[in-house]
Structures are given as C-alpha cells and as structure tokens.
Chains A and B, each alone.
Chain A
C-alpha cells in the first residue's frame, strides 16, 4: 500500500500517491469552492496532511475516502472562514471525449459543459453529492463515510439534487 510504503520512508510512494489522487481530490474541492486556484490550494493541503498526520489514518476506511473527507472538510472550512463562494471558472480544462466524430464530440462537449455549469450553479450540498456520485463514481457507502452521513440521507439528498438538476437542464433532446 502506498501510504504504508511512504511511512516506511519511500519518497517515490508519496509522489505516486499524489499522481493517483490529485485529480479526484482537486475535482471534489472544485465542486465546493468553484475556483480552480482555491481547489489547487486545498489539494496541496490534503497531501501535506498526509505528511503531517499519516499516523492518524485508520485502515478500516479506504484511503481515498479518508483523503476525500479531508478535502471536503478543508474546502468547507475555507468557505466558512468567510470566503465568498466563487463563480465557476470560465476557462476550465475539460478533456475531449476521444474516439468520436467531430459532430458527436461537439455535442458531447456541449452537453458536458451544460451539465457541469448547471451542477456548479446549485447549492454546496447538491453539488458535493452529485460530484461524488457521478463525477467521482463513489458508492452511497463511500459518500456516507466522506460526508459523515448515513446512507439513507445520502440517497435522499441525491434524489433531490438530481430532481433539481433535471429541472435546471430542461429538455435534453431525443434519447
């Protein structure tokens, strides 16, 4: 396990941890803070916490749940410390959908941008559960662990968040 190897003195294991988890952690922070610069700061803080508090990790939880939890808490702390919620960054680097024709690509990129913008316009609670479930592929159980909620509450929040998102998106065209 990477964390154990790191705690045993393997510097490469630390770099591997950063490479593996930087993207989902950055995205989780971005979902809350909506500003890439702040999300980047929080991502750095999460990994520095591994250096400082690696001993605090409880192996009964999955490592990424622990990391996500730190990321979510750090991001919420940043918001609570009086930082106003930022509007969504306009120039986010959203990757292309490879292997599709130009028209399909354009349509898919447009749809992804539309969905992401709608999600980002929602409340913190809504966008956190939607991001964890649909963009980070976390299970209900993992989301419950990360947000310190019970699974029933997670499901209920997700249902409501998706219903609101559906309302924001309007007609999605033919299936």
Chain B
C-alpha cells in the first residue's frame, strides 16, 4: 500500500468509515510494518486529541446583548410599519400590530414579519411616481424644443411694450346691497364662499399639522434608532470589557496553575535531592566508619605483630 493510501486508510478506520475488509487489510499491514504502526499510533493520538479540544466560550454578555438587540429590532420594525402602512395608523387595524416584546401578544404571528417588504413596496411606489412625472416633463420639454416654440426667436418678440391694464368688473352700487337676514332656507353666496374658505383653511391647517406629526414621527424614529444603536454599542463594549477581564483572569489562573505545577514539581525534585543528599551523607558516614574499622584492624594487626615479635624476643632471651 502506498503511503498516501495508507494515510487515507488510517483516517477511514479512525473515523469508523472503513469496511471490515479494509480494517483487516490495515491490521495485516501494521503487523508487518513497524514504521506504519508508529505512524498509525500518531494518527490515533491526533484523533483522540481532536475530540478533546474544548469549544471556546463566547463572551459573557452575549445572550443579554442578543435579546436586547432583538427587542430593539422588533420595536423599530413596529414603528416603521406604523409609519408606512396606512392601515396601521388609521382605523382599527392598528390594534392588531403589536408584539409580545412590548406586552401585546400577536405581533410575531402576523403574516408580515418582514417590515422591509412593506417599506420597500411603499418606496417603490413613490419612486415610480417620481420617475413617471420626470419622464413626462422631459417629453414635454423635448416637444417644445422640436416645435421651435422655445426659446422664442427675435422676430417673434418685436412690438411695443405698454403698461398692462388691470381688468375691472362692473361694481355694485350701494343700492344693490340690501341689509337684513336672508330668507329662511336660503343661504347667501358670500356665506357659502366664507364657509368654504374656512373649511379650506382648516384642511390646510390639518395638513400642516399632519405633516409636522409625520416629521416628528420620523425624527423620533431616527432618535430611537440612534438610541438603540448606542445602547447596542455600549452593551457590546461592556460585554467586550467583561470578556477581556474574564480572559485575563482565566489566563492568570492558567498561569498560576502552571506555576503551581512547576512549584510542585520543583518541590518533588528538591525532596528527591534532599533524600539523595541524606543517602549520600549516610554512605559517607559508613565509608568513614569502614575506614576507621580498617584502621583499627590495621592497628590491631600491627599490635598482634608487635606481640608476636615481643614473644619471640622473650623466647630468645630465655634461651
């Protein structure tokens, strides 16, 4: 089996994807090839170690940050719906467009969960109208230019300039005006015009008020978006800070553990060294004692020899 095939077979077997035949074939190979066996052991170790690599912990405040971002998102979506959807502002439909995040069940079960769809369609309609108007104006201008009406040529503007006279209609005299209330059931033309003017004025005021309200809503919406974005940024900063602190603390703890482990190992080594020293000392003492004993033996031998010599001398003297 080639080396690349062997590596592929290792992975198949260790993943549990190999067939029984493939497993047997590999076992035979490993039985006769020591280097393949050593390589397979390394691969085994890699698979075991890969399975033990723990997942990295996400930052501490992530759940809270996600939940609050979802709240803010839904709140903004709801406001956009209300501003852009006429049914949501006028009529009874508005009541059904609220969400549970703000205490009104039913929002999320609405069929239209994606506010962008509504927003996009309204914007598209407005854009379409603007484009159509622009196109008409461009066509009209083009026709005027082609027909030669614009700009006017000099021969068409020759003449005398005279002051314009204002048209003045025949005026009613004082005799035409009769004082007194109109007959019941009749309304004077002036009164009708006055009423119409007043109604028009009211309508204009209402329009202006409505415009102001819409502007205020839009400004409020922008402010809310800005607030929500600021809040998210602050939370993210805070979460990041906490995560950094936690990371730093974890690192310190790991370092402390490692240092403790090293200290323990050093202690154990020191203890072993002390024991060895003590054993050495004992051995030295034993050596010294042995030396002394040897010396004593030698002295004893010398004394014996001296005794024997003395004895020989005594015998010689007596003879």
Looking at the assembled complex, report how far the CB atom of B38 sits from the nearest CB atom of chain A, in whole angstroms. 9
Does A94 lie within 8 Å of B62, measured CB to CB?
no
Does A48 lie within 8 Å of B49, measured CB to CB?
no
Partner-binding segment picked from A17-25, A58-66, A71-79, A121-129: A17-25
Looking at the assembled complex, report how far the CB atom of B68 sits from the nearest CB atom of chain A, in whole angstroms. 10
Total interface residues on B, CB under 8 Å, equals 54
Distance between Cα atoms of A24 and B250 in the complex (Å): 21
A2 interface hit (Cβ, 8 Å): no
Does A106 lie within 8 Å of B257, measured CB to CB?
yes
Given contacts A44-B66, A44-B69, A47-B70, contact A112 B45 (CB under 8 A): no
Interface centre among A8, A40, A130, by most chain B C-beta atoms within 10 angstroms, is A40
Does B73 lie within 8 Å of A40, measured CB to CB?
no
Does A9 lie within 8 Å of B54, measured CB to CB?
no
B67 interface hit (Cβ, 8 Å): yes
Does B243 lie within 8 Å of A36, measured CB to CB?
yes
B19-70 at interface with A (beta carbon < 8 Å): 41-46, 49-59, 62-63, 65-67, 69-70
Distance between Cα atoms of A55 and B257 in the complex (Å): 49
Does B8 lie within 8 Å of A175, measured CB to CB?
no
Does B67 lie within 8 Å of A108, measured CB to CB?
no
Does A97 lie within 8 Å of B62, measured CB to CB?
no
A86 interface hit (Cβ, 8 Å): no
Task: Report the nearest B residue to A101, measured CB to CB.
Answer: B261
Total interface residues on A, CB under 8 Å, equals 62
B194 interface hit (Cβ, 8 Å): no
Given contacts A44-B65, A163-B7, contact A95 B54 (CB under 8 A): yes
Distance between Cα atoms of A108 and B251 in the complex (Å): 16
> What residues of chain B lie closer than 8 Å to A14, measured between beta carbons?
67, 70
> What residues of chain B lie closer than 8 Å to A83, measured between beta carbons?
none
Dominant SS at the A interface?
Answer: helix
Distance between Cα atoms of A109 and B42 in the complex (Å): 18
> What residues of chain A lie closer than 8 Å to B250, measured between beta carbons?
91, 93
Distance between Cα atoms of A48 and B264 in the complex (Å): 49
> What residues of chain B lie closer than 8 Å to A102, measured between beta carbons?
257, 260-261, 264
> What residues of chain A lie closer than 8 Å to B55, measured between beta carbons?
23-24, 27, 95, 135-136
Looking at the assembled complex, report how far the CB atom of A34 sits from the nearest CB atom of chain B, in whole angstroms. 11
Sample 25 A-B pairs with CB under 8 A, ordered by A number. Answer: A6-B108, A9-B107, A10-B100, A14-B67, A18-B62, A18-B66, A19-B63, A23-B58, A36-B56, A40-B59, A43-B62, A44-B66, A48-B70, A52-B114, A54-B113, A91-B244, A95-B55, A106-B258, A109-B254, A112-B54, A116-B53, A136-B55, A158-B11, A166-B42, A172-B42
Query: A-side interface residues toward B, CB under 8 Å?
Result: 6-11, 14-15, 18-19, 22-24, 26-27, 30, 36-37, 39-41, 43-44, 47-48, 51-55, 91-95, 97, 102-103, 105-106, 108-109, 111-112, 115-116, 130, 134-136, 158-159, 162-163, 165-166, 169, 171-175
Query: B-side interface residues toward A, CB under 8 Å?
Result: 7-8, 11, 41-46, 49-59, 62-63, 65-67, 69-70, 73-74, 100-101, 105-109, 113-114, 236, 239-240, 243-244, 246-248, 250-251, 254, 257-258, 260-261, 264
Return the 7 tightest CB-CB contacts between A and B, nearest first: A26-B58, A91-B247, A175-B41, A134-B50, A172-B45, A93-B57, A9-B100
